[in-house]
């Protein structure tokens, strides 16, 4: 396929009250707890070959503000993962201000994902790009039927995902995480064509999130990697044993070599 195409697999570690959980379709009332030691879970994925991790502060996404003076249980867990795991961390959830962004980058996060503020305060995204650079900033394009959802997916805006993606690319953003909310945590499969189309329409490097059910979804996304699909976040499928991370990483190496 060519050596200039990059495609990463990001095991997801979703934090709620310091524990590793999964939600179905982002519903805080549909929660499964997978462990109370996020560092051990992070180590497990790295031991299986992960070269990135995707960590989410669900408490922040669902409305708890970050207090820079007090590390919440989730930020304590994030700091421990950054300190003890030797791969870059992509982190999102509840980052609403430049101070929030700086505080988690200072903890050791490699790239932040900005969701709600991309809609409500695009000026913060532009300033974050200016201060921290385009490699450290991604936007979260979270979609319900093509429209952008914000505030932990509780509110659906009138803004189309494509329009927001195009505006963010014009602002200087290079990276996006695209989540099809209706598929998230449902093991229902990925719409690889929709992800590729979004990448082409916006010019963003798009990381797919939500719905991975098995290796066939990895194959489908790899088949459109040349169109701007830069990776996939896998959560439920890993925790439910539907995807073996080592096998998925091997598949990526086979296709891209």
pLDDT for 58 equals 87
Examine the pLDDT at 64 and tell me if it is beyond 60. Answer: no
Average pLDDT value for residue range 153-171 = 89
Structural domain spans, the chain? 8-256
The one catalytic residue in 14, 59, 180, 217 is: 14
Instruction: With cut-offs at 50, 70 and 90, classify the pLDDT of residue 39.
Output: very high
| H/E element, 164 | helix 161-171
Q: What is the mean pLDDT of residues 14-39?
A: 83
Q: Which of 100, 142, 180, 184 is labelled catalytic?
A: 142
Spacing of C-alpha 251 from chain mean position:
21
pLDDT at 161: 94
- Clarify whether 184 is annotated catalytic: no
Structure token pair of residue 165:
């993606």
Q: CATH number of 8-256: 3.40.50.960, 3.20.20.70, 3.30.830.10, 1.50.40.10? A: 3.20.20.70
Neighbours of 210 (CB within 10 A): 28
Q: Rounded to two decimals, what is the model's pTM?
A: 0.92
53 three-class SS: strand
User: Does residue 168 surpass a pLDDT of 90?
Assistant: yes
Asked if 142 is an active-site residue, the reply is yes
């Amino acid at each position: 396929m060519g050596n200039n195409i990059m495609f990463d697999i990001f095991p997801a570690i979703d934090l709620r009250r310091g524990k590793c959980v999964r939600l179905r379709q982002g519903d805080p009332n549909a929660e499964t707890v997978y462990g109370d030691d996020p560092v051990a879970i992070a180590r497990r994925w790295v031991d299986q070959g992960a070269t990135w991790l995707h960590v989410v502060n669900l408490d922040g996404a669902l409305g708890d503000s970050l207090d820079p003076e007090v590390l919440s249980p989730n930020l304590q867990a994030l700091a421990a993962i950054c300190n003890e795991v030797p791969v870059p961390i992509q982190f999102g959830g509840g980052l609403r201000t430049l101070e929030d962004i700086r505080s988690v980058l200072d903890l050791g996060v490699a790239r932040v994902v900005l969701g709600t503020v991309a809609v409500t305060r695009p000026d913060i995204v532009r300033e974050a790009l200016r201060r921290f650079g385009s490699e450290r900033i991604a936007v979260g394009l979270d979609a319900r039927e093509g429209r952008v959802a914000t505030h932990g997916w509780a509110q659906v805006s009138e803004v189309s995902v494509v329009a927001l993606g195009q505006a963010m690319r014009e602002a200087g953003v290079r990276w996006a995480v695209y989540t099809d909310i209706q598929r998230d945590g449902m093991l229902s499969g990925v719409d690889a064509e929709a992800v590729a189309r979004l990448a082409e329409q916006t010019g963003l490097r798009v990381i797919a999130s939500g719905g991975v059910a098995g290796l066939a979804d990895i194959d489908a996304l790899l088949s459109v990697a040349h169109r701007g699909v830069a990776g996939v976040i896998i959560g439920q499928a890993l925790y439910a044993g539907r995807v073996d991370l080592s096998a998925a990483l091997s598949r990526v190496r086979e296709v891209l070599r």
